Amino acid sequence: MAGQAAVIVTHNLTKRYGSITAVQDLNLEIRQGEIFGLLGPNGAGKTTTILMLLGLTEPTSGQALVNGLDATRHPLEVKRIAGYLPDNVGFYDDLTARENLLYTARLNQIPPAEAEKRVALSLEQVGLSNFAHRRVKEFSRGMRQRLGIADIMVKDPAIIILDEPTLGIDPEGVRELLALIVRLAREGGKTVLLSSHLLHQVQQICDRVGIFVAGRLLAAGPVALLGHQVMAGKPLEIELQAEPDNDNLLSTLRSLQGVTAVERHGAFIRLRCAAGRDIRPELVPYLAGKGFTLLYLRARGYDLDDIYRQYFQGEGYHGTMAG
Ligand SMILES: Nc1ncnc2c1ncn2[C@@H]1O[C@H](COP(=O)(O)OP(=O)(O)OP(=O)(O)O)[C@@H](O)[C@H]1O
């Protein structure tokens, strides 16, 4: 993906509402075919960023470029290139799914025969063919979100922008929606920008993420790389399960050279290595030699939730294994 063209670019993009700075000096580059996650808590400035990218809100300063077009100066062209799923997608509730999509096609001047084809295909791709003739008011939130994506697909834009797409959807619905987003990028070649505060959900599908807090982009990159950066120089923490899981296991782990702390954490045991040490290679033979069987082993700290927490804590990495 590194060689692909940048399709979304921002230069010091800034938005102020009176004394509130919603977005501050945002510099972002999203490449063609990429799934980019804009991640941050409520009020971080994600929606404001998206609205500026779509030319729906004017930046206070800086620039948002979509396919090289300034979004503020060319909002109509940008609307043609970028499909947008807002966090609360609106449909005509008394019309059926198909009728809503046909209406979108008409608004986008797609000829009727072509519109029929695209609507049928879009409904099929989001798994709603069987609900084509149902009124949208009968749809669940997950179905509405999928219909929202079908609505975007009718327009067939190169870029898809989704604001909190998984919000309020049950786990199965989330799984389907994320799989659909991946298909759009991988098979359809679409560039996807999605915003979310539900990190663990979206981290699975994002090629890169940007961590956005209080209007500022604190870091951007692949999740694994951010993990390495955030955790660099910090003592390695390991989570494991072994049996028999008794007090003797804890004391056995404590006596392994290079281990500085051992704590029970729910169903797991967490241990911290001395700075610069990684005891994982020794762990299996060591435990086996003492009559224990290792069932599970993971280095902590490369999970987006962990990374995120580190950014929130800023300097305050407390060295605790809690969380
Ligand atoms: N039209 C507006 N007028 C005044 N302040 C606004 C306006 N829109 C957003 N803000 C403020 O700008 C900041 C960023 O809001 P924004 O909606 O972009 O955040 P967000 O990351 O999308 O959050 P959420 O997940 O809650 O949607 C917030 O402090 C918000 O209150």
Q: Are 103 and 92 in contact (CB under 8 A)?
A: yes
Q: Are 55 and 111 in contact (CB under 8 A)?
A: no
Which atom of ligand 1 has the smallest separation from the CA of 164?
25
Cα of 243 from ligand 1 centre, angstroms: 50
Determine the straight-line distance between the first and last CA of the chain, rounded to whole angstroms.
34
| ipTM of the complex, rounded to two decimals | 0.93
Q: Rounded mean pLDDT of 153-160?
A: 94
In this structure, what token pair is assigned to residue 35?
């799934």
Q: Rounded mean pLDDT of 286-303?
A: 87
Domains of the chain, CATH where assigned:
6-221 (3.40.50.300), 229-313 (3.30.70.100)
In this structure, what token pair is assigned to residue 190?
């679409």
Which atom of ligand 1 has the smallest separation from the CA of 197?
25
Q: Is the pLDDT of residue 61 over 50?
A: yes
Residue of 21, 38, 46 to test ligand 1 pocket, by largest number of atoms within 8 Å of CB: 46
Q: How far apart are CA 91 and CA 150, in angstroms?
A: 12
- pLDDT confidence of 316, banded at 50, 70, 90? very low
Residue 40 phi, psi dihedral angles, 5° rounding: 180, 165
Q: What is the pLDDT of residues 100-140, one digit of tens each?
A: 999 999 999 999 999 999 999 999 988 899 999 999 999 98
